[in-house]
Structure 1
């Protein structure tokens, strides 16, 4: 347990749970993870900020054996076995048509939906960046729920898009295995850059 830094108001135990002791899991126990647990996680992390409150992240829970069989062949070789065995898998995608919700979620700018309507490339870039922010919130939310995440980008994104999102504006960004860690679920923790190499005061 690390002592709480005076600059942080979050208790030390919560700091450890969410960051210092949290690990990326590559193997899980058989304990199930329910859709209701993920809904509770989303209900917490939905408050994280996004540009124009755009909220482009979409979460597809791959819960059935049939859906898992459709997903696994699109994973890279090193990710197939663990994706096939995880208690629950989530496909995290961005919705390039997020602008359709802006009149509801960003109502004080009534013209913004129409302004973005014809700018597909701009929307795609904005969706990727802001869904990426939400993915970070989602992983921390899983940790807050006592769950472990194994996020992966080793897959055929176009194949997953065609398999799960054909005819929609959703684009796969990350696939996350979710569960409770098995023994030897982790690799050794890799080094992190010290703040002196990351933070510059201008």
Structure 2
């Protein structure tokens, strides 16, 4: 009889039994790794398309993105056309609010069309934001970045509008086209257009 199959004097498993146990442990570790990968793949994804760059329209995509990221979502915000203003490092602190065509403005469109009214309504909104201790656009961008939100800038819009990529926040991904954004949306659980 082979020594590999004989029981050991101290009751420990034989070499053959040990090999079988090691093989089973390896199989279980492989199964566990597969389950972990599956759980990682179950992370919900959200894609937001930001198309507007006014002060009032900068908040919805940023608040939704930072909140979703806080809940564990994988979030991408694709900025196109005027939405690029939000990602412009200098302009993010100086976004304007238009009084004309905004039904929630406390002034009628005729008055809103007067010269200087956009400055007035922008100051009113900025004061309301400060009085209510709401985060600034810059603070929301920085919070979102800290939480892993990916900000993408549409390359076609960068070229069309003559933006300089160096003017965006450092973490902004440039060189992204509509095809990439579409692929992100196709893979996302939630897609929003703001």
Q: TM-score range by the shorter chain?
A: under 0.3
Higher gyration radius (CA): 2
After TM superposition, the score normalised by the length of structure 1 is 0.25
Q: Specify which structure has the higher proportion of helix.
A: 2
After TM superposition, the score normalised by the length of structure 2 is 0.26
